[in-house]
Amino acid sequence: MKVVNEARHTKWHEYNPKDEFIRRYHSCTGEEDQAANMLDYSNNDFPLMSATMALGFGQNLKRVRCVVHMGRGDPSAIVQMVGRCGRDGSTGLGILFMEPKRALGKNAIEDFDEGPQGEDDRMDALAVTPVCLRIALTVDNQKGYIPLSEDANFLAKQEREIAAGFPNCQCSNCNPEAAKAILDVAQQMTTDNFDQMLSSPLTIEKDPSITILVRKRKSRRGPATCNLSITAAGHLANCLVTSFVNFYEDTFGSSSEFLPSDFFGIDMAKAVVASLDQIGRDGTHNTRHLEMIIGGEFLPGQVKFLSNSIKDWYKSDCYQTVLDDQLAHERFIIAEQARLRQEIEFESEDVQVLVSAMAAEDKRQKKEVLDEARKKKADEKAVEKALAALIKKRQADKAAKEKEIAANLKKQNALELARIKAAEKEIAAIGVRQKLAMAAKQKEADRASRAREKNEEREKNAARKADEAKKRKEIKDENKRKALVN
Distance between alpha carbon 288 and the CA centroid of its chain, in Å? Answer: 26
Kindly state the helix (H) or strand (E) to which residue 48 belongs, with its residue range.
strand 48-51
Q: What is the pLDDT of residues 298-310, one digit of tens each?
A: 788 888 888 888 8
d(CA 313, CA 235): 9
Q: For 16, left (φ over 0), alpha (ψ -120 to 50), or beta?
A: beta
The amino acid present at 441, given as its one-letter code, is K
pLDDT, tens digit (0-9, with 9 covering 90-100), for 213-259: 877 655 555 678 888 888 888 888 899 999 998 888 888 877 667 78
For 312-322, the pLDDT digits (tens) are: 888 888 778 87
Most confident by average pLDDT, 3-7, 221-225, 278-282: 3-7
User: For domain 2-203, which CATH number applies: 3.40.50.800, 3.40.309.10, 3.40.50.300, 3.30.450.20?
Assistant: 3.40.50.300
Q: Provide the pLDDT for residue 101.
A: 85
Question: What's the mean per-residue pLDDT of the chain?
Answer: 87
Domain ranges of the chain: 2-203, 230-384
What CA–CA distances, in Å, run from 246 to 238, 294, 460? 13, 18, 107
Flag whether pLDDT at 152 surpasses 90: yes
Let me know if 61 is exposed, middle or buried by CB neighbors in 10 A (0-12, 13-18, 19+): middle
Q: What is the pLDDT of residue 221?
A: 56
213-218 contact pairs (CB < 8 A, 24+): 213/6, 213/7, 215/6
